[in-house]
């Protein structure tokens, strides 16, 4: 079976969409399928090509049996709205053209956000007349005004109309949360075409972190309690709340904060931390994915935060599942489906999004009770390995492809080939 996947992000980028797409495509390729990915030169979030890459019109590599086709886009940092839009839009013509040159596929998958990956998939499949799958990872463009990136406008309403048109034209819409499914049904999308395929985790990858290596890299002493945020430092994540909590806790010198990652808000957050003389906060910058398991193993509490917006009640952040897989308790500042999942797992404590006082209280409670941390970490790991196995959900994705007419080998091959 020939599978074509459109994605803006792909390894060596280390964000959630890059990891999810790679893990699914890797599993499908190992199951014997011919998998092609159309993507960009890796540059997120700084807008500069990663080491070993350069700006080019086209580059083809084969990585882990996946054919990776990198096309030209207008590279831009993840902070300038105009240039980010140019970056997203420029993907459409170059991706569609490259996909056309690759010939006919049995099915195409387009992931969103960024939204125009789905647009490229839609345009390609309309010409080739093949089934396509809209993989919905975020309610975009609804989330844009929620984080203050743009105001509601005629242009945004036109994009929302295009969004609904693509939902209706797609053969299947894969939703990462059940809240997404509810949202689409309320907006008139046929429930028969909606399929739930959440983020998954590779348990072996997250178990291999070494606590001593992680603590040594962060210069943590035996009695220190490490608190980490690992992920994009973006407009949606409400990291000002973390700095406010760190300020409230700075006299408790054994509690140390680590913010790992990069993004549009990094410079502002670093200026704020310096201005407030937050010596208990360290910024590590963007880490290689292979270093993250040891970092998570080395700390004692993992932060998962988003701004207090209605749209974020529908999401289930992948960093939350990764923290569970690493066996660490979570301080969660996300309401809705994420909070319900955390409580079902018994994997941490929730606080009101945006409340630095509640976050500081949660951190104090966890920092002062090592037994609670161990129990919650173990519960989270057991829960996520049972409910969110990447292998299980990759198999479900293949079942979906089979359901829209793809010829898929026996699914047992997937379970034994990786």
Q: pLDDT by residue (tens digit) across 365-374?
A: 999 999 999 9
86 and 209 co-located in one domain? no
Range 97-114 average pLDDT: 92
Strands (E), 306-399: 330-333, 348-350
User: Could you give the C-alpha distances from 108 to 24, 72, 100, 120, 225, in angstroms and in order?
Assistant: 14, 20, 12, 10, 46
CATH code (residue 16): 3.40.50.2000
Give me the pLDDT at residue 310, please: 86
Distance CA 249, CA 243 (A): 10
Residue 415: the pLDDT is 40
303 close to 281: Cβ distance less than 8 angstroms:
no
Residue 311 confidence class, pLDDT cut points 50, 70, 90: confident
Range in 144-148, 266-270, 390-394, 398-402 with the lowest mean pLDDT: 144-148
Judge if 229 and 355 occupy the same domain: yes
Clarify whether residues 130 and 46 are in a common domain.
yes
**Same structural domain, 321 and 290:** yes
Residue 359 has pLDDT above 50, yes or no: yes
Same domain (yes/no): 173, 234: no
Residues 189 and 301 occupy one common structural domain: no
Same domain? For 171 and 264 the reply is no
Co-location of 150 and 80 in the same domain: yes
Tokens of 163: 């969004």
Domain that holds residue 99: 2-200+389-417
Q: Same structural domain for residues 186 and 252?
A: no
> What pLDDT shows up at residue 230?
95
Do 103 and 224 fall into the same domain?
Answer: no
pTM: predicted TM-score of the whole model, two decimal places? 0.84
Query: In whole angstroms, what is the distance from residue 407 CA to residue 412 CA?
Result: 14
Q: Cα–Cα distance between 34 and 234 in angstroms, integer?
A: 35
Residue 186, exposed/middle/buried by CB under 10 A (0-12, 13-18, 19+)? exposed
Average pLDDT over residues 225-247: 94
Residue 346 and residue 309 share a domain: yes
- In this structure, the answer to whether residues 214 and 336 fall within a common structural domain is yes
State the pLDDT at residue 410.
Answer: 42
- Cis amide linkage into residue 113, ω under 30° from 0: yes
What is the tally of structural domains in the chain?
Answer: 2
């Amino acid at each position: 079976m020939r599978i074509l996947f459109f994605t803006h992000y792909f390894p060596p980028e280390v964000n959630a969409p890059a990891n999810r797409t790679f893990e699914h495509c890797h599993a499908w390729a190992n199951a014997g399928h011919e998998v092609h990915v159309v993507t960009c030169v890796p540059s997120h979030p700084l807008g500069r090509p990663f080491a070993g890459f350069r700006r080019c019109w086209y580059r083809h590599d084969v990585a882990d049996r996946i054919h990776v086709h990198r096309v030209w886009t207008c590279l831009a940092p993840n902070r300038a709205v105009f240039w980010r839009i140019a970056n997203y839009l420029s993907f459409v013509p170059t991706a569609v053209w490259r996909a056309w040159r690759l010939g006919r596929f049995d099915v195409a998958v387009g992931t969103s956000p960024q939204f125009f990956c789905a647009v490229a998939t839609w345009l390609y499949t309309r010409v080739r007349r093949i089934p396509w799958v809209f993989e919905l990872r975020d309610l975009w463009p609804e989330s844009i005004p929620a984080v203050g990136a743009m105001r509601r406008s005629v242009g945004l309403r036109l994009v929302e109309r295009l969004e609904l048109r693509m939902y209706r034209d797609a053969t299947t819409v894969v939703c990462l949360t059940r809240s997404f499914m509810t949202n689409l049904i309320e907006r008139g999308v046929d429930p028969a075409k909606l399929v739930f395929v959440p983020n998954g985790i590779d348990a072996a990858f997250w178990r291999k972190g070494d606590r001593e290596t992680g603590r040594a890299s962060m210069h943590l002493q035996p009695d220190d309690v490490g608190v980490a945020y690992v992920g994009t430092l973006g407009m949606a994540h409400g990291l000002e709340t973390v700095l406010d909590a760190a300020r409230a806790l700075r006299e408790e010198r054994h509690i140390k904060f680590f913010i790992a990652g990069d993004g549009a808000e990094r410079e502002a957050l670093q200026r704020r931390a310096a201005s407030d003389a937050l010596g208990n906060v360290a910024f590590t910058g963007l880490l290689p994915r292979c270093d993250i398991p040891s970092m998570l193993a080395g700390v004692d509490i993992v932060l998962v935060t988003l701004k207090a917006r209605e749209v974020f009640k529908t999401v289930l952040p992948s960093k939350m599942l990764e923290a569970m897989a690493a066996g660490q308790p979570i301080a969660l500042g996300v309401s809705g489906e994420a909070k319900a999942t955390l409580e079902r797992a018994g994997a941490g404590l929730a606080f009101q999004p945006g409340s630095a006082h509640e976050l500081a209280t949660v951190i104090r409670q966890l920092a002062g009770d090592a037994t609670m941390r161990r129990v919650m970490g173990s519960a989270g790991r057991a829960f996520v390995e049972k409910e969110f196995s990447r292998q299980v959900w990759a198999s479900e994705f293949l079942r979906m492809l089979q359901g829209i007419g793809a010829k898929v080998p026996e699914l047992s091959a997937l379970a034994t080939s990786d």
